[in-house]
């Protein structure tokens, strides 16, 4: 039978359907009301009847959809309609008016609800899987327990909607307006929320594993206890958000705005916080193992304690302002060495730092990294404090002192070679006088001493002068000062043994008559420890510095 087009002018229909309209819509109508408003209500009833009839046939609502194809300009008005529990799979309700409609438990799988008005609709426990909700207005709707799995909600309005416990797995929510919505305990794993407006929304306890929240608006959002493992929150605005106890492990928070956010107890292990802003945030109790923090901003951050180990068992406490002082990113100064940097230049870098600091009493320099490769070497310093000089001026001054430093290092190297030979000569002469077991080969001239052999000492024994001992002491003291940064390269036991060796070495160096064989053995032990450790810039630099004395 050919599908009929609705006849809007049939007068006999009017009185016949009045009681049914009142029953379904609860509309108070006066029987003698003529014309358009009454006809409109009856037409709406006819639409509802047609829709309900279509749901009773096992054909995915083909009858309704065919009728809509024949009447594309017909305005679907189902405001307040009772569609509770109906089978509406694949139904075409594009642009329909469903204001305050009751769709509790309805099956709308694959339905076309694009551009529909579902404000304040009751959709509790409804199935909207694979539904097209593009540009649909769901503001104020109740979607508790609703299945929106893989639904397309691009550009939709969900402001103040109740979506608690809703299943939104892999849902397309890009640029959706969900501000102030209730999404408590909702499932949003792998959902697409790029650029979505979630300001002041409640997402406490929600699961957002692998979700894309890049450039999302999450100002003052409640994400306490939420699971965001592996989620992308790059460039997202989370200022003032409650992120306490949330799981951000392996999440991407690069360039995110986390200022004034509450990250108390948050799990940030292996998270990326590159260029992120955490100014005035609360980071107390956070788990920070392997967190990428390059160029992050932590001005006025609050952190009374944090965990830096993988299992989050070793608590580290901080006094007020200490965390910022230790971990804030500072202005950097990089010096380049075209032909590489020598061990003596590495060992005398503290002297260069001292010279630079004398030129500007308001700042201090901290050695951050030494990178030595085929193309040359670079030494990076972090600048702490407020200088009166521009960065370019500081760099110009540092380059000038770098040149002096290289010249001085070369001079020290030459003097060391001669002094080293003189120290050997003195030692062997003293021992020769005592037992005569030493034989001198070659000549002894001004400024040069020939080859010396000892029948009782091994070839590896080294004699250290006072300059050597002073430099060795500076190196190991630097290692002691930066021991916290070695925790990622050494096991707890190996680090303890390394620090114990350093203590014994410093004690021996401080003695009036140092035991040179012991010092050499201790240096070899430290070298061996650094060779076995996980390589980074610091361990590599210390290894190179110690190698010249082994």
Does 203-329 match 332-457 in CATH topology? no
- Write down the pLDDT at residue 214: 96
Q: Which residues of the chain have pLDDT under 70?
A: 1-43, 58-59, 154-156, 330, 385-392, 394, 412-462
DSSP 483: G
b/e sequence 170-183, b meaning 16+ C-beta within 10 Å: bbbbbbbbbbbbbb
Topology of 203-329 in CATH?
A: Pectate Lyase C-like (2.160.20)
Q: What is the dihedral of CA 416, 422, 424, 425, to 10 degrees?
A: 170
Three state DSSP letters for 31-71? CCCCHHHHHHHHHHHHHHHHHHHHHCCCCCCHHHHHHHHHC
Residue 30 near residue 37, CB atoms below 8 Å: no
- Write down the pLDDT at residue 246: 98
Domain locations in the chain? 203-329, 332-457, 469-550
- Write down the pLDDT at residue 40: 57
Paired with 452 in beta bridges are: 440
Residue 115 near residue 96, CB atoms below 8 Å: no
Topology of 332-457 in CATH?
A: GMP Synthetase; Chain A, domain 3 (3.30.300)
Q: Give which of 336, 274, 280, 285 is closest to 307, Cα–Cα.
A: 285
- Write down the pLDDT at residue 448: 36
CA distance 238 to 186: 19
Provide the token pair at 106.
């309805």
């Amino acid at each position: 039978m050919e599908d009929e087009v609705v006849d809007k002018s049939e007068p006999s229909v009017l009185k016949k359907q009045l009681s049914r309209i009142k029953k379904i819509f609860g509309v108070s109508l006066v029987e003698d009301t003529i014309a358009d408003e009454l006809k409109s209500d009856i037409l709406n009833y006819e639409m509802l009847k047609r829709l309900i009839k279509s749901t009773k046939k096992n054909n995915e609502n083909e009858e309704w959809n065919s009728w809509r194809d024949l009447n594309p300009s017909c305005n679907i008005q189902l405001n307040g309609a009772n569609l509770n529990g109906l089978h509406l799979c694949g139904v075409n309700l594009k642009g329909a008016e469903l204001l305050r409609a009751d769709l509790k438990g309805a099956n709308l799988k694959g339905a076309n609800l694009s551009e529909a008005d579902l404000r304040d609709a009751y959709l509790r426990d409804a199935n909207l899987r694979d539904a097209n909700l593009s540009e649909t207005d769901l503001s104020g709707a109740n979607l508790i327990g609703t299945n929106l799995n893989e639904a397309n909600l691009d550009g939709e309005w969900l402001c103040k909607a109740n979506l608690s416990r809703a299943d939104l797995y892999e849902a397309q929510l890009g640029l959706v307006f969900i501000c102030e919505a209730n999404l408590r305990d909702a499932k949003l794993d792998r959902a697409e929320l790029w650029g979505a407006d979630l300001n002041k929304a409640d997402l406490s306890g929600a699961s957002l594993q692998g979700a894309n929240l890049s450039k999302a608006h999450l100002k003052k959002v409640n994400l306490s206890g939420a699971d965001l493992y592996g989620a992308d929150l790059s460039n997202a605005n989370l200022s003032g958000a409650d992120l306490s106890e949330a799981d951000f492990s392996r999440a991407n928070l690069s360039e995110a705005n986390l200022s004034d956010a509450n990250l108390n107890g948050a799990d940030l292990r292996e998270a990326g916080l590159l260029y992120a802003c955490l100014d005035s945030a609360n980071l107390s109790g956070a788990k920070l193992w392997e967190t990428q923090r390059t160029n992050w901003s932590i001005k006025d951050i609050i952190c009374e304690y944090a965990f830096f180990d993988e299992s989050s068992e070793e608590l580290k406490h901080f006094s007020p302002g200490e965390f910022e002082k230790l971990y804030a990113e500072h202005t950097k100064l990089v010096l380049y060495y075209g032909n590489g940097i020598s061990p003596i230049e590495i060992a005398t870098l503290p002297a260069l730092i001292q010279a630079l600091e004398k030129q500007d009493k308001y700042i201090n320099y901290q050695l951050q990294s030494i990178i030595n490769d085929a193309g040359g070497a670079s030494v990076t310093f972090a600048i702490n404090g407020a200088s009166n000089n521009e960065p370019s001026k500081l760099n110009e001054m540092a380059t000038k002192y770098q040149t002096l430093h290289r010249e001085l290092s070369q001079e020290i190297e030459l003097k060391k070679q001669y002094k080293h030979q003189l120290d050997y000569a003195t030692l062997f002469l003293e021992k020769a006088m005592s037992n005569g077991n030493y034989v001198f080969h070659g000549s002894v001239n001004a400024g040069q001493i020939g080859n010396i052999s000892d029948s009782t000492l091994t070839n590896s024994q080294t004699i250290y002068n006072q300059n050597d001992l002073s430099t060795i002491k500076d190196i190991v003291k630097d290692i002691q000062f930066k021991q916290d940064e070695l925790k990622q390269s050494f096991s707890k036991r190996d680090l303890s043994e390394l620090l114990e060796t350093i203590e014994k070495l410093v004690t021996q160096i401080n003695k009036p008559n140092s035991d040179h064989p012991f010092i050499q053995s201790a240096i070899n032990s430290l070298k061996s420890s650094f060779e076995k450790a996980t390589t980074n810039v610091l361990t590599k630099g210390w290894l190179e510095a110690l190698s010249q004395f082994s």
